[in-house]
Structure 1
Amino acid sequence: MTTLLLDQSRLEIALTRTERLLAFQRGNVWIERETIARLQLTDEPATWLRGVRAPGTHVPRVVSLGTWRSAQGDDFVAIRHGRPGVVIDLEGDAHFSRLVLSTRHGLALAKALHLDDGDAADAEV
């Protein structure tokens, strides 16, 4: 699915051209590291979808990509159904209040985000 790149200052959600097209995104999604409030691992990220898709793509039991709008804020979603993932709560981000992502590397991402000494500079997750 998506590639997650983490450095000392931000998390980049690198989307393929097809993913950008389906998610209605012009480029990759950048999240400042200090806006990440909480990360939760999940076996089925699709259960965390909230609100309505606007804009984006949703094929039931296959894929969900794009922005989901709800009363709690906008979520960026990039999931393949049936695969493990992460839910990342954001505080103070200009565009999103939460990220819901499919990734096999959720545990590694969680560990890298909790490093305070900066040893994870330019870590690809």
Structure 2
Amino acid sequence: MVTLLLDRTQLEVVLSPLERAATFHRENVRIPRESISKVQLTDDAWTWLRGVPNPGTHIPGVLAAGTWKAAGSVDFVLIRRRRPSVVVDLDGDGEYRRLILTTRHGLALTQALRLEVSGEPADVEEIVATSPTPAGKGKRRPVIRPRPA
């Protein structure tokens, strides 16, 4: 699973050496923060896949990794099996229109994008864990009401 780093200016998808080989990328993927238009969580990232790998790796149901090209669209994809994933729609990025990533940190990414972050890149899990909880947004106990007889 990829590591997601976020700072004031960009989202960085940190790739392991194995992920670099599968995606045919020599460096991490860096996306300007202002180009992120929408973030969606999904349990089945395979339904979001469009086009063909160019260059990339595709083992149906097991791995989809690399640059995927479709008519008028270029996506960066790193999907492993049927695990929780995040779909990041981009508007104004020069290279990609969408990121589709298998990661268990999707919820943390959506929360971290709403927060003010430092200029130093930090893991989205750390950002959310160390951020103060907004006033009035703490956990509330459910109200238990008796049922009418």
Would the TM-score normalized by the shorter structure come out above 0.5?
yes
**TM-score computed with the length of structure 1 as normaliser:** 0.92
Separation (CA, whole Å) in 2 of partners of 1:109 and 1:47: 21
Contact kept? 1:89, 1:99, Cα under 8 Å: yes
Which amino acid counterpart does residue 61 of structure 1 have in structure 2?
G
Contact kept? 1:45, 1:102, Cα under 8 Å: yes
Residue in structure 1 matched with residue 135 of structure 2 by the alignment? none
Contact kept? 1:72, 1:97, Cα under 8 Å: no
Which amino acid counterpart does residue 39 of structure 1 have in structure 2?
V
CA change 1:35–1:18 in 2 (3 A) is: same
The secondary structure found in structure 1 opposite 2:19 is helix
RMSD: 1.5
Separation (CA, whole Å) in 1 of partners of 2:27 and 2:53: 19
Aligned residues: 124
Separation (CA, whole Å) in 1 of partners of 2:51 and 2:82: 20
Separation (CA, whole Å) in 1 of partners of 2:6 and 2:117: 11
Unmatched tracts of structure 1, length 5 or more = none
**Quick one: percent identity of the two aligned structures?**
54
CA change 1:6–1:73 in 2 (3 A) is: same
Which amino acid counterpart does residue 117 of structure 2 have in structure 1?
G
Q: By how many angstroms is 1:120 displaced? A: 8.9
Unmatched tracts of structure 2, length 5 or more = 125-149
Contact kept? 1:50, 1:69, Cα under 8 Å: yes
| Structure 1 or 2: more strand by fraction | 1
